[in-house]
Copies of this chain bind each other. A is one copy, B any other.
Amino acid sequence: MSPEGPADLADTDLVRACRRQPVRRTPVWFMRQAGRALPEYRAARGTGSILSAIDDAALAAELTLQPVRRYGVDAAILFCDIVVPLHAIGFGVDVEPGKGPVVAHPFRSAADLSRLRPLEPALDTPHVSDAVRLVARELGGSGVALIGFAGAPFTVASYLIEGGPSRTFTKVKSLMHSDPALWGQLMERLAAMSVAFLRAQIEAGAQAVQLFDSWAGSLSPSEYQRFVLPTTRAVLEGIADLGVPTILFGVGTGELLGLMATAGADVIGVDWRVPLDVARTRVGADHAVQGNLDPALCVAPWPVVEAAARQVLAEGAADGSGTGHIFNLGHGVLPEADIGILSAVVDLVHAESQRA
């Protein structure tokens, strides 16, 4: 095998853990590992919009690789944003620093469906595929996997409908309940967009993908089952033929884990509220789990973080299989996180999980 051939690229602990195959050691990466906690990130990014940085494939590739060099993590995650496809088709979305996605004219009625044309990655997001190729080439043979990602339809819809980040999700919940037909059409379009975006990343060299349904935990189980799960399943079915492992993640999803496990993903991401041994019983032995150190702890002194990380490792290994756990935070790295602490976490995970 060539050191840069596809078979070699897939032979990483990250991919093996997703598939519950034997690993050399428990793989570890951090959601939002490319971010303001890193001085090299702040230097390279400057003050421009994140969407401009993503437009620049070389810069996006560099930002993707920085945390691999800094932390020694087992996976890079593409530097990108879940609203990139919407932005690319001209829906009118921007990402405000410190706030998040904002939509100038939120989705309100059936008339807005016409603003959601299909994504054509080769024309609309060639820079994203270029960045994937650049990173995949750089990582070839290193044992570090490249993870692509997209927003799950519900979480993307929440920004479209609320017009920005929300704590209550009143508008999106009102729409799904009061006009299920329109909701279904919207979710179908967003699902197609996520499928196209993920397929392009996989075809360009991503060896695994994560579907971010970050805000699914705001829903009740019956809402999730009726209004979200079918479309999430459709996204995962839409990329199944490509054969890369898939991770489905959301925050505050304790009550949803059993349902999420039926969506077709290989791995379920879990936040810090549910101990991983409990999470494993909810998602079943046919799934791997990812998580779940509390990102808020990564500003605490090392002994605090060390104890918490050891607890995550122990709970992640409690099923005795020796695999099926991807160490991560329970949500993204906070800008104020101590990067020395994060490096020490990676070293601890590697040292403690080294197989004989």
Interface residue total, chain A, C-beta cutoff 8 A: 36
A171: chain B residues within 8 A (beta carbon): 299
Is A170 in the interface zone, CB < 8 Å from B?
A: yes
Closest chain B CB from A307 CB (angstroms):
8
A169: chain B residues within 8 A (beta carbon): 296
Which listed segment binds B: A42-50, A117-125, A140-148, A214-222?
Answer: A214-222
A308: chain B residues within 8 A (beta carbon): 177
Is A114 in the interface zone, CB < 8 Å from B?
A: no
Which listed segment binds B: A1-9, A74-82, A199-207, A267-275?
Answer: A267-275
Give Cα distance in the complex from A272 to B170, angstroms: 13
Contact B273 A177, beta carbon cutoff 8 Å:
no
Is A301 in the interface zone, CB < 8 Å from B?
A: yes
Give Cα distance in the complex from A60 to B307, angstroms: 47
Residue-wise interface mask of A (301-315) relative to B, using a CB-CB cutoff of 8 A (1 in contact, 0 not): 101100110010000
Could you say which of B178, B222, B295 contacts A301, with CB atoms under 8 Å apart?
B178
A304: chain B residues within 8 A (beta carbon): 174, 177-178
Of residues 266 to 307 in A, which have CB atoms within 8 Å of B's CB atoms? 272-275, 278, 294-297, 299-301, 303-304, 307
Could you say which of B178, B255, B273, B296 contacts A168, with CB atoms under 8 Å apart?
B296
A220: chain B residues within 8 A (beta carbon): 272-273, 275, 294
A275: chain B residues within 8 A (beta carbon): 220-222
**Contacts known (A220-B275, A275-B221); A177 close to B252, Cβ less than 8 A:** no
Give Cα distance in the complex from A173 to B218, angstroms: 23
Closest chain B CB from A209 CB (angstroms):
27
Which residues of chain A have a CB within 8 Å of any CB of chain B? 168-171, 173-174, 177-178, 217-222, 252, 254-255, 272-275, 278, 294-297, 299-301, 303-304, 307-308, 311, 334, 336
11 examples of A-B residue contacts, CB within 8 angstroms:
A168-B334, A170-B334, A173-B294, A174-B297, A174-B299, A174-B300, A174-B304, A178-B303, A220-B275, A221-B273, A255-B273
Extra pairs beyond A170-B334, A174-B296 (8, CB < 8 Å): A170-B336, A174-B297, A174-B299, A177-B307, A178-B300, A220-B272, A221-B275, A254-B254
